[in-house]
Chain A
């Protein structure tokens, strides 16, 4: 069984790390002057993973609005699920997540969506229910904690996203 999953979210939410942890093949990045991180995705992240008999293709979008054609282009693919990553340890990241959430819902209301509250292992992390409120996630859309640097926890998120298809 083959699935295509899009990983999206605002700048510095952990999309590239998530794709790379699960089975990243490449990330098209450029160096940035931003103090938050040394590089940023400018085109896409790409990864594949074989798991429980599934072959999952992962596309990661850039997070900065200036790369909108790539973000929106990848949104037009034939997708099975979308994972929206937000940095739940950063209030600014959560507010930016709100805009992303609305954009994803508008662009692809037909695709099952899961919101992953990334960096949930940090001291300042908000609980999923708080994330739901700040990001404005509707009741039918799950919000789950996520640690993109931890393969097991990233896999849990992917499994939950694929579980939406059953």
Chain B
């Protein structure tokens, strides 16, 4: 199924980066096993960011089950100026890296609109 969707996912990554007006420097979509299905910029493959997203998402999903919370809708990691945003997309995971001092309102809006 993921094979069929790859061009759509590539387009989604491209659109997010392009629409963010420089606030998003890269977007990755990967499986829950850290296999990268799509990424933008196309020249950058950040396997480590995908693995970190998978590790965090699995831990928080476990925690939400253990404490009876709803599954996480988004995980934001604040590195000071830059941020790493992890968002589940069905069975896939979206990982977005922001530039320093991003327009967070725009980033939130763009990510809220993402649906597969």
Contacts and interface: CB of A to CB of B under 8 A. Distances in A.
Contacts of B47: 25, 48
A11 interface: no
Dominant SS among interface residues on chain A:
strand
Interface residues on B, range: 10 to 19
A125 interface: no
B43 to A, nearest CB: 19
A73 B33 contact: no
Contacts of A25: 47-48, 51
B22 interface: no
Given A46-B34, A69-B63, A77 B58 contact: yes
Interface string A110-139: 000000000000000000000000000000
Given A25-B48, A46-B48, A78 B33 contact: yes
Interface residues of A, number: 18
A78 B54 CA distance: 11
B55 A74 contact: yes
Contacts of B52: 46
A69 B59 contact: yes
B34, B51, B61, B63 — which one has the most chain A CB atoms within 10 A of its CB? B51
Interface string A69-104: 110111011100000000000000000000000000
Contacts of B35: 2, 57
B62 interface: yes
Interface of B: 32-35, 47-48, 51-52, 54-55, 57-63, 66
The 5 lowest CB-CB distance pairs between A and B, nearest first, are A73-B59, A73-B58, A73-B62, A46-B51, A44-B55
